[in-house]
Amino acid sequence: MKKVIETDIAIVGSGTAGATLAKELSKKGRKVVLLEKGKRETRLGGMDDALRFYENHGFRKSREGIPLYGTSMVGGTSVVASGNAVRCLQKEFLDLGIDLENQFIEAEKELNARPLPDRCISPGAKKILEAAQALGLEPKRIPKFIDPEKCVACGNCVLGCKYGAKWSAVDYVDEAVKNGALLLTQAKAIRVLVSNRKTRGIEAIGPEGLMEIISDIVIIAAGGIQAPIILQKSGISNAGKKMFCDSFMTTYGVTKNINQTKGVNAPGYILRPDKFITFPFVDPPVQFLLYNSWEALFGGLPRERTLGMMTKIADESIGQVDIDGKITKTISPKDKEKLNEGIALVKEIFIKAGAEPKSIFTIKQIRGPHPGGTAAVGEVVNNNLETEIKNLFVCDNSVLPKAPGLPPILTIIALSKWLAKKIIN
């Protein structure tokens, strides 16, 4: 016998969008059920711990072999993000009739977003930014949602912060639960329940079997890969197309005595609009294993003397997520050209910073940290983020109109606040 739960609003996914929506809606007295297919993870900051956060202890890959980031846990990928609070796609949303200015201001204030003091930044990252400045590249510091008083500069932001210094969506989930929201973990949404082209809830499967969450409003916030799968299973056939992933590559170079491991990742950046962004970044050792970079892990790469930078681009929206979860995503010649241009600049920065030119190499694997665009505004949802099924909304990376090429967390929070206000009003 199916378990049945009745509520006002059912939200699928407890990552950045779902957690923000749950917090905002429950704060206003709405009865909310928040479904999360993963668990609440309490062990953070370790290599072996971090692998548990991802499905199959690794990353989902496209048919062409591009790994795509996506966690299965309370808080979603915000738990393993670098804490970057930058605005992106504000103009693009405004052109679509979605003005996020007030929500950006509100989110920045809530997260106390600001650049970190030097004591949180590694000597290697400082050296990289100084070298970029000397080359006339005008690097800028990135606002962070990290509390510098709690930050111990361990360099493990992407493994989850065990010191409580970095904000994650878990904080918003906890607020929502305090407001009365019901959090269901290990509850995987299967499809939206529909009657006369209007939603009446969600069918899901949990530890005790099938369940139905009966609700007047359903919001899918399951991310750029899972959201379109649920939508397709619910009869929205045009979901899943035009996927981007903000492709990136990492480059390394060995110095005589400069350490980059003890400090936050991405404290500053160099931006070339419409081309690439690059910033100091060092993969944890486990990443080298995942991407078969044996030469980096075991070939004498001295982490305590290595500089690292990530080059990220806003890639073309040419990917697709099928109803069975299979993904097609390749990198176009134009995308590859932008990546190569950024990597060439990184090499110049490394040499200026004191890296041995012959030691500089780039990991061959291209990765996709922000899959999205698969239920884009104007394509699958309207400018109220509502689908063709009445009262079925989508709010996460999948609704972004194009690849941001920048960390999207702040924009997703602002967009979620905007949608919550729409629903409340």
What are the pLDDT digits (tens) for 249-274?
999 999 999 999 999 999 999 999 99
**145-180 pLDDT, tens digit each:** 999 999 999 999 999 999 999 999 999 999 999 999
The pLDDT score that the predictor gives to residue 52 is: 80
Does 44 score more than 70 pLDDT? yes
Residues 181 and 201 in one domain: yes
Domain assignment present for residue 416? The answer is yes
The pLDDT score that the predictor gives to residue 291 is: 52
**103-144 pLDDT, tens digit each:** 999 999 999 999 999 999 999 999 999 999 999 999 999 999
Amino acid code (one letter) for 111: L
Which domain covers residue 273, as residue numbers? 119-142+248-312+332-362
Element (H, E) at 262: none
The pLDDT score that the predictor gives to residue 298 is: 43
Residues 104 and 233 in one domain: yes
Residues 296 and 409 in one domain: no
The pLDDT score that the predictor gives to residue 364 is: 87
Residues 292 and 392 in one domain: no
b/e string for 250-266 if b means 16 or more Cβ within 10 A? bbbbbbeebbbbbbbbb
Residues 85 and 234 in one domain: yes
* Count of H-run helices and E-run strands, the chain: 11, 19
Domain assignment present for residue 383? The answer is yes
Residues 136 and 255 in one domain: yes
Residues 99 and 221 in one domain: yes
Place of tokens 């949608």: 419
Residues 296 and 205 in one domain: no
Single out the residue of 208, 224, 267, 235 nearest to residue 370, CA to CA: 224
Does 279 score more than 90 pLDDT? yes
**Mean pLDDT across the chain, nearest whole number?**
93
Domain assignment present for residue 82? The answer is yes
Residues 132 and 181 in one domain: no
Stronger pLDDT, 287 or 247, i.e. the higher one: 247
Residue 7 confidence class, pLDDT cut points 50, 70, 90: very high
How many structural domains are present in the chain? 2
Does 47 score more than 80 pLDDT? no
Residues 405 and 298 in one domain: no
Looking at 362, 379, 404, the residue that finishes a domain is 362
Residues 296 and 400 in one domain: no
Residues 220 and 358 in one domain: no
Residue 348 has phi, psi (to 5 degrees) of: -60, -45
Does 285 score more than 80 pLDDT? no
Residue 300 confidence class, pLDDT cut points 50, 70, 90: low
Q: At what angle do helices 169-178 and 16-27 cross, to 10 degrees?
A: 30
Domain assignment present for residue 152? The answer is no
**356-414 pLDDT, tens digit each:** 999 999 988 899 999 999 999 999 999 999 999 999 999 999 999 999 999 999 999 99
